[in-house]
Structure formats: structure tokens, C-alpha cells
Chain A
Amino acid sequence: MSINLSSEALVRVEELKNYYPSKKSAVMPLLQLVQEELGKISEEGILWVAEQVEMSPVHVRELVTFYSMYTTKERGQYHFQVCRTLSCAVMGEGSKKICQAIEKRCDVKEKAVSANGLWSFEQVECLGSCGTGPMCEINDTYFENLTTEKITEIINLIEQEKPDLKFSTKKDALGSGLKNYSPSAVYTKE
């Protein structure tokens, strides 16, 4: 089984296979890598990963459905994950309002991709950003202390700047991000 990975990714694959005491432990980062490279984890991706870590395909398939960060469906270029758990739901305007603002501004329904392929959106459970709620993770970057106004402004900026908000397993780093937005607000100097 072969899938279309960049040469850079293939180097990383070999590194990951030797990173743990057992090759099988590399299954999660490899799935992550496949998802980053191809946008989703397809059946071919599952078979390829299974071959790499010497596991049965059914076992790998099981992991893909068990862990909620893996997807077998195509997502938009910018994927919104709005935290819906208690703190984010009750603080400020509340997460429901943020969801409505995203749906309206991006013309996208939950768990679907917008017509222009740019946006997709879902509600997720606690993302560990309770003090700065409501919040939303766009690709792999946190946007915190949201208001309907602020999320609309962020979406406008994304549309203009087309920033890289993804985490790269190849580089072990987050993308360049949005200008004037720090990657984390969990600690703010007073």
C-alpha cells in the first residue's frame, strides 16, 4: 500500500517509528501525519499506517473512530472547533452565540463544509481554556475570550491573510498564525 506523502514526511515517518520503545506506539503520530498531509484519514491511509507499524488494519481503523481528533471526512481549509462545555457555555456571551455567529458569517452548518471549501465547524468538549471562555480552536490554534464581534473580526482577518493555523508534525511547530494574535492567552501580564 502506498499513499502520496511528501519526502519530508517520509523522513519523519522513519524518525517516529524509532522514537518509542515499541514501533506500535508510533501509530497515533503517524495517523496525525497522514491527516495533516492528506486532509483526512482515508481507507488507504489506514492500510498504509497499519503496514508501517505492523498492526492489523482493523486495529488502526478502531483508533481512527475512537479518537475524536482524527477525521475520515474532508474538512474545510479552516476548521472551527467551538468548546461547548460548561465554563465556555456560561461565560460572556456563551458558546452558543459564538456558534451562531460562525454559522451566519461563514454560511456553514455544523459538521459540514461551506460551499467555498473554506470553512467547516463543529462543537467539541472542553479544550482546557476555561478561564478564557468562550473559545474556539481554528485548525490547531486557540482563539480565546471570544465575543460574536471578535469571532467575526477573526474570520474577516483569516479571509484576508489566509494564515497557517495548523500544527505540523513534520516540524513539530504551529504555523505562522494570525498577525497580532498570540497563540495563547492562558497567561496574561497585568
Chain B
Amino acid sequence: MKILLKGIEFDDNVSVAGYQSRGGYESFRKALSMSPDSVVDEVKKSGLRGRGGAGFPTGIKWSFFIPRKTEKPIYLIINADESEPGTFKDRLIMERNPHLLLEGILCGAWALQAQKTFIYIRGEYAYPYTVMKQAIKECYEKGLLGQNILGSGFSHDVIIHRGAGAYICGEETALMNSLEGKKGQPRLKPPFPAGYGLYGMPTNINNVETICNIPFIVQNGGDAYFKIGVEKSSGTKLISASGHIKKPGIYEVEMGYPLLDFINNECGGMLEGRKIKCIIPGGSSTPVMTGEELVGVNLDYESMRLAGSSLGCAGFMVLDDTADMVEVLLNLTKFYAHESCGQCTPCREGGHWIEKIVQRIADGQGRPEDIALIQSVCGQIAGHTICAFGDTMVMPYQSILKKFASEFEAKISLNPNSLVAKSKRLAVLQENQL
């Protein structure tokens, strides 16, 4: 079943003509023949959930704009600031299927009666940016964007904006601030973007992959989409697979596909003679799952949640038994310490504290109390910050420490200094008692 990767094998897919030769822009024509409200209804029926990580139902998000009472322009933002470690799916869509994204945008813009769309693409994606820019230019030339599109009376503009290397700009309100020319630091919510978003206008934000599902839903109806996948997670999902597997890459699977089958079939299994140790399933900001925990788990939001983790944006990082979990945790702490936007103290300071502690464990200077210390700092970060960055940062930390505690303890116990220090402290205590 190919919805999102349809046509990517053809090089001419990046042109309007090539895309149209495979049925492209037919969905948008159909959307124009429907009322905007009925497009929203179809999306609601489809059960489509946001693919950026949170899994919020897209149809419900769109229905915040009904009844259409506002006199202000409505903006649509496409979040293409794909920076979650382990995730590279949107890049493939933009490089090989840019018109699917633009058709999704047009359908969405019609449904929301949006005036402008802003695509926020991460700065490092220079090549996908050039492909998108070219595709947008061609759409303007062919009358698919601009004034009075296809003679319908509907007008729409697409603005594409490059980021400049800040992970936090993937957070929706940080993204809006960045677009407005400010530092990419998240805003307090409420007010929510649907009421007060970009430039203070009602704004809807969708991930690239989410909006790319819309043409299929418009074309085939919400019910047809709902039948794909499983009940609470309909449709297909792009999985970005990386790590110690034979065939890393991007795969489109139906929701509900067994996780182990995915690793063994699509990914070609583990590298020769290696055993699966753990996976970080949803991009680095999700709890780690050990090899044993993967049995019976399926690739959908509910199943992953029941297994104690999250599908997130499906950036699968598969690690085998050669992985040193102290090094893995150190790698992640460096990422989050660097990427904290610096707005809230717990996240800005705590991230660096944890990095320092893990660094000393990795250097063989760990102290027996360090694991508890990290856990305590994690507890002080989660829930105490403006955005979800702090919460998502501690999720992999806490789960790695819990599930691989023995590796950390083993490394700490090898530190002679810490034992010496401990006995010295004990001696001082005893002396004082005497």
C-alpha cells in the first residue's frame, strides 16, 4: 500500500507534468468541487492523526476553524523542520514527491479557507529546499498557485522559509516565532495557534507527512482511509530506520504492522551475527525498548503506548549487543544539552548537568550516587518547562537508566576513586563519632 511514496521511483515526479501523469492534482480538483466543510468532515472520518509525533487527530484540529467566524486571514504552516534524531522521512517526500506535498497543502488550504501557507524547512536541507522551491515556482506558472487557481476563484500563496539549525524550531510556537524573525523559543499556551498563531492570526500547523495523506483522503473518501491500518491508528506510516540493521532506509507500512516483522523483513534483519539489544522507536525523544519488549508489539500509536513507549514520528534507531548504553546515553545528553533553547532554567541547566554526570561515568569517574542523581534532575526538568522539550528529553534518559542500570553500575563500580572517596568519607564519619 503506497500513499506517500507513490511515484517516488520516477525522476519526472518532481515536475507538474510527471506528477499529473500519475493522477496528480486530481484530488485538489475534486476538493474544489466539494464544500470546504465537507473536506474537513472527510478528514475527520479518516481518523488521520498528526505524524509529527503527538498523534493528535487532524480532522479535529481542522474543525477548530469551523464555524468560520473570523475576519482575520487564516494561515497554514507546514512543519518541515525535521530535526528529530533518527527521522529523515520528510526529506524523502520533499526531494522525490514535492507535488504531493503541494497538493496536500492546496487541499488543506481549501478546507481551512487559508490565505497563505508557510513551509518551514530546516536550514540544512538545502537540496530538498531547492526541489521544493522549483516545484512551487512551477505551480505558480501552471496556475496551481496564486490568484484564481484553476478558475475556481480560490487564491492561495505558498511561502517557503529556511531555518538555520535550531532543533527547537520544530516545536510549533517556536517555529512561529522563528518565522516572525525572532529567536526560536516556544510560547506559552494558551493562546493556542488556532486562535492566535503566526503574526497573531489563526494558524493551523501540520507535519509534512500528515498533509501528504490529505490528497488520498479527498480522492477516496475518509471511510476508505479509515479501513487502512488499525482502528485507532488509520492509514500508513513512514518509518525511518537506521542503526545496526542490514537495510536502513524509509519504508511505508500499514499501521498495525508487527514491529519484529518490520525489522526482520523490511530492514533485512540485524547485521550478521548480531542480536537486537534495544530500539528507540519514535525518534530519540521516546522511551527505549529492550529486545524482549518488542515481542507482540505492533507499529501503531496504541500498541506502542501500551508497550510503554511511543510511535512518535517513527524514527527507528535499532541498536545491537555491541552498543555501550553509557555511550548511547552520553550521545543523547549532548544532543539535548546543545539544543535546549535556553528559555526555561530546568531544561537549560539540567540538560548540561546530566551531560556532565554521564560524561564522568563514561570517563570512569562515576560515583555510586550518580544514577539516583540523574533521575532526580530528570524529575526536576519534566513538567517544569514551557514546551515539551524538557519532558521528551528525560524520557529516553529515564528509560535507559532503568532498563540498563547494570551497565551503568558496572562502569561506576570500576572507578577506584569513588571507592576510595567513599571509604575516606566513612573514616571521617567514624572519627567524628568517636
Seen from chain A, the residues whose Cβ lies within 8 Å of a Cβ on chain B are 19-22, 24-29, 31-32, 53, 55, 59, 62-63, 66-70, 84-87, 89-91, 124-133, 137, 140-142, 167, 172-174, 183-184, 186-189
Contacts and interface: CB of A to CB of B under 8 A. Distances in A.
Contacts of A66: 166, 183-184, 341
Contact of B86 (A55, A62, A130, A189): A130
B335 A141 contact: no
B319 interface: yes
B91 to A, nearest CB: 5
Given A66-B184, A90-B244, A189 B122 contact: no
Contacts of A174: 126-127, 130
Contacts of B241: 131
Contact of B126 (A26, A132, A140): A140
Nearest to B323: A90
B125 A128 contact: yes
B181 interface: yes
A186 B166 contact: no
B262 to A, nearest CB: 14
B124 A86 contact: no
Contacts of B184: 66-67
A129 B88 contact: yes
Nearest to B271: A91
B127 A24 contact: no
Nearest to B248: A131
12 contacts: A20-B159, A28-B161, A70-B164, A86-B332, A87-B242, A90-B328, A124-B165, A128-B124, A141-B127, A184-B91, A186-B92, A186-B250
The residue among A31, A85, A124, A126 with the most chain B CB atoms within 10 A of its own CB is: A126
Contacts of A130: 85-88, 240, 242, 248, 315, 317
Contact of B164 (A69, A84, A140): A69
B88 A68 contact: no
Interface in B102-147: 116, 122-130, 133
Nearest to B11: A189
Nearest to A140: B126
A87 B243 CA distance: 5
A125 B248 CA distance: 19
A55 B61 CA distance: 34
A182 to B, nearest CB: 9
Given A20-B159, A125-B335, A85 B243 contact: no
Contact of B199 (A22, A53, A125): A22
B395 to A, nearest CB: 14
B272 to A, nearest CB: 14
B84 interface: yes
B331 A85 contact: yes
Contacts of B92: 186-187
B91 A91 contact: no
Contacts of A189: 9
B181 A29 contact: no
A25 B83 contact: no
Contacts of A31: 164
B82 interface: yes
B334 interface: yes
B201 to A, nearest CB: 9
B179 A25 contact: yes
A187 B181 contact: no
Nearest to A31: B164
B164 A86 contact: no
B339 interface: yes
Given A27-B181, A86-B317, A126-B85, 11 more contacts: A24-B180, A28-B162, A28-B181, A32-B123, A62-B183, A126-B335, A128-B122, A129-B88, A130-B87, A130-B248, A174-B126
A128 B178 contact: no
A68 B163 CA distance: 10
Interface in B281-299: 284
A17 B126 CA distance: 21
Interface string B177-220: 01111111000000000000001000000000000000000000
A162 B199 CA distance: 43
Contacts of A133: 242, 248
A86 B162 contact: no
A90 B161 contact: no
A167 B126 contact: yes
B167 interface: yes
Contact of A187 (B83, B96, B327): B96
A172 B338 contact: no
A69 B327 CA distance: 26
Contact of B95 (A21, A25, A63, A187): A187
Nearest to B332: A86
A31 B327 CA distance: 36
The residue among B85, B243, B335 with the most chain A CB atoms within 10 A of its own CB is: B85
A67 B166 contact: yes
Contacts of A127: 124
B87 A128 contact: yes
A25 B181 contact: yes
Contact of B8 (A22, A137, A183, A187): A187
Interface string B1-18: 000000011000000000
